Amino acid sequence: MQDSNIELPTTDAYVDVQLLNGGSMTAKYHVLHAGEPADEFRLYNWAFYIYHAKQGRRMLWDLGMSSNPDDFPPAIANGPLEETRAQAPYEPIEKQIERRIGVTADEIDTILLSHAHFDHCRPISQTFKDATVLFGPGTSEYCAPGHFMIPTSTWDGRYFDPKRATERWGTVKGPWTRFGPFERAMDFFGDGSFWVIQAPGHMPGNLCACARLATGEWVMLASDCCHSRALLDGTKEFGAFELDGKIMSLHTDIAAAQDTLARIRIMEKELGVHVSLAHDTTWMQDENDPVLLSLLDKKFVKDMRVALPEQRPF
């Protein structure tokens, strides 16, 4: 990876970004980090609202957590959903955007899903009736045909079944070009304001994104490129755990995930990008990044200050 003379594109265009509460679930430290005990903690989950005013486009990045078993294949509903005691946010995503921004669910035109795991992805046709879901390249090949044809599958046939799918969705097609240290990124609106980036490692089709705010600051929506700030900082290594007699990781390709993290570090340390991981709470607890904090509303901040120190849902 070449990291000399890397720059971000010059543009005056921008998008509005709002961080949304995507609920939470329980997790264990050893699953995230090598060498840590199997102690349980609450893993929070963030989603985002993205608005391009000039084009009138309103989008979501990820959907956060649901606690409704009907939102998932049986292999998820009867397994991880129960095991992690998944908790939807007390205020649903669609209600958050209506209260905060005055936008109804029917005004959302696109939902970009960073990947297809159950804490980011679920059917939308009953809630976001006019939206189209977009996945990263390779997602459908990896997940199809889903649980209708393979009852034990954790992937949702409502998206991936070739005959019984119920959801309107597609794959981000590009064109792909370089963006900072990343080799394959798409200028989503064509004006340099919002980039969808291929970020290999977590699972096939994994995406992250980078948004330019009205202030000129850049924010990276890094989703599950890793699951903690310690992993991004390099002070912890990826954990491993046993599942069905096999040693597993949260990432299907650890070498690729490590390479993606190296590129995100360049974005942050050399290019001044503000990074928000899907499950990271450190900057909220420390309140040390004014740019990321500007993505929250007053209610979120109030609820956050109560919930995070006590590791409870909100």
pLDDT score for 245: 84
**Which whole-number Å values give the CA distances from 109 to 57, 124, 220, 255, in the listed order?**
7, 11, 21, 35
Q: Is the peptide bond before 145 cis (omega within 30 degrees of 0)?
A: yes
As a dihedral over the C-alpha atoms of residue 137, residue 166, residue 120, residue 48, rounded to 10 degrees, the angle is: 90
68 DSSP 8-state letter: -
pLDDT at residue 314 in the model = 96
The encoded tokens of residue 279 equal 């499950």
Residue 119: predicted pLDDT: 97
Long-range interactions of 187-191: CB distance < 8 A, separation 24+:
187/9, 189/13, 189/15, 189/52, 189/55, 189/57, 191/11, 191/13, 191/54
Residue 243's pLDDT is 78
Which among 204, 194, 196, 261 has a CA at the least distance from the CA of 227? 261
Domain positions in the chain are 16-304
d(CA 314, CA 311): 9
| 135 within 8 A of 116, measured Cβ to Cβ | yes
Domain 16-304 has CATH 3.60.15.10: yes
Helix (H) or strand (E) segment spanning residue 302? helix 298-310
Pairing type for strands 274-277 and 218-223 reads parallel
The DSSP code for 170 is E
> Tens-digit pLDDT profile for the chain (314 aa)?
545 579 999 999 999 999 999 999 999 999 999 999 999 999 999 999 999 999 999 999 999 999 999 999 999 999 999 999 999 999 999 999 999 999 999 999 999 999 999 999 999 999 999 999 999 999 999 999 999 999 999 999 999 999 999 999 999 999 999 999 999 999 999 999 999 999 999 999 999 999 999 999 999 999 999 999 999 999 999 999 887 888 889 999 999 999 999 999 999 999 999 999 999 999 999 999 999 999 999 999 999 999 999 999 99
Is residue 282 within a helix (H) or strand (E), and if so which, with residue range?
A: helix 282-286
